[in-house]
Structure 1
Amino acid sequence: MRVEVGEIDAALTGLPEVDYAVTVGRPGPSGAQVLVSYVLPAPGQELDPARVQRRTAELLPGHLVPAAVVVLDEVPLTPVGKLDRAALPEPVFAAGSGRAPRTPTEEAVVAAFAQVLGLAQVGIDDSFFDLGGNSLDATRVCDRLGAALGTTVPVIQLFSAPTPVALAARIEAADTAGQPDSPFAVRLPLRTEGDGAPLFCVHPAAGLAWCYAGLAAQLAPGRPVYGLQSPHLEGLEDAPETIAAYAERYVDEIRAVQPSGPYHLLGWSLGGFIAHAVAARLRETGEEVALLALLDADLIARDVAAPEPLTVGELVATLGSSLGLPDADPALTAAEAAALIRTHTGAPVDAGHLDRMTAAYNGSASLLAGYRPPLYDGDLVFVTATADKTHHAGGFAGWGPYVTGAMHNHLLDVEHDRMTAPDAVPALAAVLDRHLGDDRYLAAS
């Protein structure tokens, strides 16, 4: 996992009791990559890992705070004198060391978190996504909670209330004010707390914005986050037929939350093209766009012949790991695939949803064929996925003719289809927080 760990190590060695620090990515309790810091005490000092971790939390944004701190007696070195990463000891994770549950609902939520994530203990203030959970794990939690409490717990509640104390309060109050009933709603609240201008995240090709839930939890606090999802997923309206039509639809959704700028927009893959068109439309109406961030939106893709359309089974097999089905059979029908997903994840998916997702995925190629983006009067932040060469060759530079302002490119050592995977999210959140102007991040830089 590539992340700007230098500032983490600088913060640690800035503590008078720490002589040396190195931060690396290691598998966390749920298997996802997390940050682990290894430290040497200064001469005559004794280090308490928990205290060191608390001190870094005071100095760094949440996504840069290590999940564990390990005190070393000495730094393991290779024969040529370099750090021997393989010899670093296994970390001990202290998730759940915070407050214990106080009510039956909090106990049920804590138990569901622990069961789904494979943790021995969870505290009521622990964020589900900080513990390594992802959007598919979230559906499992809500399915377990619904069965345990005899009620329906929409997954969108966990997206926007990711700690046991917050989720339990939401469940007890039956608080759905401002929340859609369905996780397939066009505007999906991922984080509603905060007084800052919201970040709006446009879906990739299949139309779902659930993929941004982990990112929303990792971004610095104070800024609400909303996903924008394809309008036809619920089957209540037709899908827009052009990128411009998607943009007009989403401008309406954005303005329903935030009537005026400055606006903050993000889009991944196809969503990058739509986010760019949204930004251009907003600027045409005189609004300020403070951030336009595109995640590996490759302009070359618009000039490539459309591939053969996928069946539902083929799409589920292609996206299997992100749908919780690593070994899905490409021959599955929509009904069979939906039943399999419900069984494995508890996600409220039916055959109609999968049919519409497949249509959206297949239709993305025709949306981009020959597409020429409008001119956007503003700056552009681009994130390039470097581990998948077929997806990044023409991404960043090709946007030059369609952007009047400064262009910033950030390299992320991940494949195109895994840009919001748990191991990539810390680095992605760091990039976005820098351009969002988060004061705590800038203070630590």
Structure 2
Amino acid sequence: MAQDRADIVQIISEIWEELLDVDVEEDDDFFDLGGYSLLIVNVVTEARKRGLELSSNDLYTHKTPAALAAALGTPAGAREQVAPADPDFSTVWETGLGPLETEPTPTLVPLAPEGTGTPVFTFHWGTGNVRFMAGLVDSFRGERPAYGLEMVGMWGRERPALSLVEIATRYLREIRTVQPEGPYLFVGPCAGGRIAYEIARQLRDQGQEVAVLAVVNTMPPGSTELDPAWGLRELYDFRLASLRERFGVPDLLTDQERLMRGMVEIAWLDEHVDPADLHWRQAVWAAGIFAQEHYEPRPYDGEVTVFQLAEHADRPAADWGRVAAATETHTHESAGTLPLLRDPEFARALAKKLASHPA
């Protein structure tokens, strides 16, 4: 392992220069240079390849090559003493209940159950919540009822599955309590697009019709921006570190109210979440991302309607044609998933797609 300060500065600087395509000095701030949360995954991966035991929290806490060199030259135990005092992943995960300890909790949420005709089902995004969609489904559902699927563990301590196929199978059972037979109409925002894809694939294998499979700012299965070698603990630690940076909250426990209010404002949390569940919710996030990262997709023989951001339009990794028999793509100038869901142009296009199938 490289221990010399100058060696560590050089390694870190070289990695940043490669990833950010800028010249790096030892006192340059990673985020001022254009770094962002997901890129930290690449920094950590590359640093470990070169013999540095770097964590995501190290990079959030020590933002320059010089500061990182000083920190990495300190014994790991000493570094941990100055880190925020969040409960570790094992402590949080142990508070959860497995299948032998609790009855399964419902994941199906009525978003707009009134209406007639074939219902629309929408799926939770990466944070696991879907109830925020209740304020959005009227823009595209027409007269149809609308339901959401939220992740296991949102309102209780049931541990979520770590397999996307198992997650999809469970959601499908609940969908069929409302609609036993096709044709089905699915809308999957962000991470929910992959869940919708796997459910649609299972239904097609069973001879059922999926009339609409719409994914919203979702990268196709098999592509990733995270390191699949990371386990639950690393994903959880990354999540906590990214929350501290995004919301400017150095201590998640001391500033918990401000943090949770900020997360509600961008629909990462539902309202009325118990503050005691904050870290549990991040462990649930880690479980969901782990399932996504380890999902091995099989081909889908139907059509996928893709609503993508313009910034992803030319990325080969964003091509749904790699996994689906047919695609219909709509490109929008939006700043992210939530702005896209709120975009009237998107709503009109999705409503038109849904309306093309008899109610």
Matched residue, 2:331: 411
1:309 aligns with 2:227: no
| Alignment partners' CA distance in 2, 1:339 and 1:253 | 35
Matches within 5 A, 1:154-165: none
| Alignment partners' CA distance in 2, 1:214 and 1:392 | 31
Following TM superposition, by how much is the alpha carbon of 1:315 offset from its aligned partner in structure 2, in angstroms? 5.4
Matching residue within 246, 249, 252 for 1:329 = 249
Three-state SS of the structure 1 residue aligned to 2:302 is coil
Three-state SS of the structure 2 residue aligned to 1:377 is strand
| Alignment partners' CA distance in 1, 2:132 and 2:223 | 21
- If asked which structure has higher relative contact order (CA below 8 Å, sep 6+), I would say 2
Matched residue, 2:286: 362
Following TM superposition, by how much is the alpha carbon of 1:409 offset from its aligned partner in structure 2, in angstroms? 0.7
Question: Deviations for 1:56-114, whole angstroms, at most 9, x for unmatched residues?
Answer: xxxxxxxxxxxxxxxxxxxxxxxxxxxxxxxxxxxxxxxxxxxxxxxxxxxxxxxxxxx
Listed as ranges, the gaps of 5+ residues in structure 2 are 1-104
Q: CA RMSD in A?
A: 3.2
CA contact under 8 A between 2:297 and 2:323: conserved in structure 1?
A: yes
User: What TM-score do the two structures reach when normalised by structure 1?
Assistant: 0.49
Following TM superposition, by how much is the alpha carbon of 1:368 offset from its aligned partner in structure 2, in angstroms? 2.9
Question: Deviations for 1:190-239, whole angstroms, at most 9, x for unmatched residues?
Answer: 11121121111111111001332232121253111111100112224220
| Alignment partners' CA distance in 2, 1:199 and 1:315 | 33
Question: Deviations for 1:257-307, whole angstroms, at most 9, x for unmatched residues?
Answer: 111111011112221111100001111111111100111221364374157
CA contact under 8 A between 1:203 and 1:227: conserved in structure 2?
A: yes
Listed as ranges, the gaps of 5+ residues in structure 1 are 1-183, 321-326, 441-445
Three-state SS of the structure 2 residue aligned to 1:287 is coil
Distance 1:403 1:271, change over 3 A: same
Question: Deviations for 1:228-261, whole angstroms, at most 9, x for unmatched residues?
Answer: 1001122242201111011101101110111111
Matched residue, 1:192: 113
CA contact under 8 A between 2:160 and 2:287: conserved in structure 1?
A: no
Following TM superposition, by how much is the alpha carbon of 1:410 offset from its aligned partner in structure 2, in angstroms? 0.5
Q: Quick one: which amino acid aligns to residue 111 of structure 2?
A: L
Matches within 5 A, 1:21-420: 186-299=107-220, 301-302=223-224, 304-306=226-228, 309-310=235-236, 314=241, 316=243, 327=247, 329-333=249-253, 336-337=255-256, 341=260, 347-387=271-311, 389=312, 393-394=315-316, 396-397=318-319, 399-404=320-325, 406-420=326-340
Matched residue, 1:57: none
| Alignment partners' CA distance in 2, 1:267 and 1:376 | 15
Three-state SS of the structure 1 residue aligned to 2:142 is coil
Following TM superposition, by how much is the alpha carbon of 1:336 offset from its aligned partner in structure 2, in angstroms? 4.9
CA contact under 8 A between 1:214 and 1:420: conserved in structure 2?
A: no
| Alignment partners' CA distance in 2, 1:225 and 1:203 | 13
Distance 1:353 1:265, change over 3 A: farther
